[in-house]
Amino acid sequence: MPNLNDTLAETQRYWAWTGAVSDLSPIFETIEKQYGGLRADWITQETKYARDDCERAERSLERANRDLEEGRGRNSSMLDLLTERAERGKDDLEAARKRLAAAEEAAEHVDDISITVKVQRGGERSTHGRPSELVDYLRHIDVRDLTVHAPYGGYRLGHRISLYFDHEDGVTITVSSDESTWTSAAFAQIRAEVRRRVPWWRWMRSAWFLLPLMVVVSVAFLVFVGNVAISMGGVSSVVSPIVGALLVPATIGAFVAARWLLRPFELTTGDRPRGARVLYLIGGAILSVILNIISSRWS
């Protein structure tokens, strides 16, 4: 049997996610935590070439200095050649050390989290950093969609985490790795954090809820119009076709309005999400009507 690398991926989608920008902080921190035990090895891998290059330059300079010491009794032309070689070795070592420092600095971001933001008025912005840096960055942006990827600098090293916050599709979590234990543990922890801000009304956006609801509303509306038409007598022949013609666009409009009012993804500035405000308003109106009916019957 061939020895193949097997990658395990786990995915979860929620119909909606709403919260303040600060609510993203524990999600980002949970993502960052997954790479804590991998960071040191990743940095070692990312800087290996630069460290090897630096070690070669050090050995080359040692040989050049040794040859220079041994050649001091030789003729001047040979001594000049050895001196030039030693000076060149110093320059090579200095350049190698600078490359190593740059590689080490870049490797510090190997486990950064990268985000791509689609703003409300169009356009796209991207950056990467630590959880607190990303939260501060997002506070000043009117976010429409948000894509989160980790690790930023370790894309060649596996252990991928992706979150897609979409204004039409809610949020999708994907975790993949060739280590099934890591995948399962990371997926469970990230999913738990994401679920904290999944609204209770998320199922109201699904077609299996809205379509039957629209059918019930339409039937109730037709019954109501029929009763009105009967009570109006001769005018019913004029009213009924008009109402019937308006029924379909009104039903479609109600369906679209319901999905628009209940946003699948919303980052708030601390206020209650629009979906919750709308449902509380509707609930309050219905409760008021019921109380008025009860009050009128008792009076």
pLDDT in tens, 205-236: 666 666 666 666 666 666 666 666 666 555 55
Distances from the Cα of 162 to the Cαs of 8, 125, 139, 238, in angstroms?
14, 17, 21, 58
* Rounded to 5°, angle at Cα 193 from 131 and 129: 15
* 8 A C-beta contact, residue 147 and residue 162: yes
pLDDT in tens, 91-111: 888 998 888 888 888 777 788
Give the pLDDT score at 1.
Answer: 45
* 8 A C-beta contact, residue 9 and residue 161: no
Picking from 127, 138, 144, 114, the residue whose alpha carbon sits closest to that of residue 31 is 114
pLDDT at 162 exceeding the cut of 90: yes
pLDDT at 269 exceeding the cut of 80: no
Q: How far apart are the C-alpha atoms of 222 and 65, rounded to whole Å?
A: 99
Percentage above 70 pLDDT, the chain: 64
- Average pLDDT value for the chain: 78
Give the pLDDT score at 209.
Answer: 64
pLDDT in tens, 24-54: 999 999 999 998 877 777 778 778 888 899 8
**166 or 203, which is more confident:** 166
* 8 A C-beta contact, residue 24 and residue 138: yes
Q: Where are the domains of the chain?
A: 8-38+111-195, 43-107, 202-298
Task: Mark 121-146 as b/e (b = at least 16 C-beta within 10 Å).
Answer: eeeeeeebbebeebbebbeebebbbb
User: Residue with structure tokens 């991207």?
Assistant: 126
**239 or 124, which is more confident:** 124
Centre a 10 Å sphere on the Cβ of residue 261 and count the other Cβ atoms it contains.
Answer: 16
Token pair for 297? 């019957």
At 131, the pLDDT band (50, 70, 90 cuts) reads very high
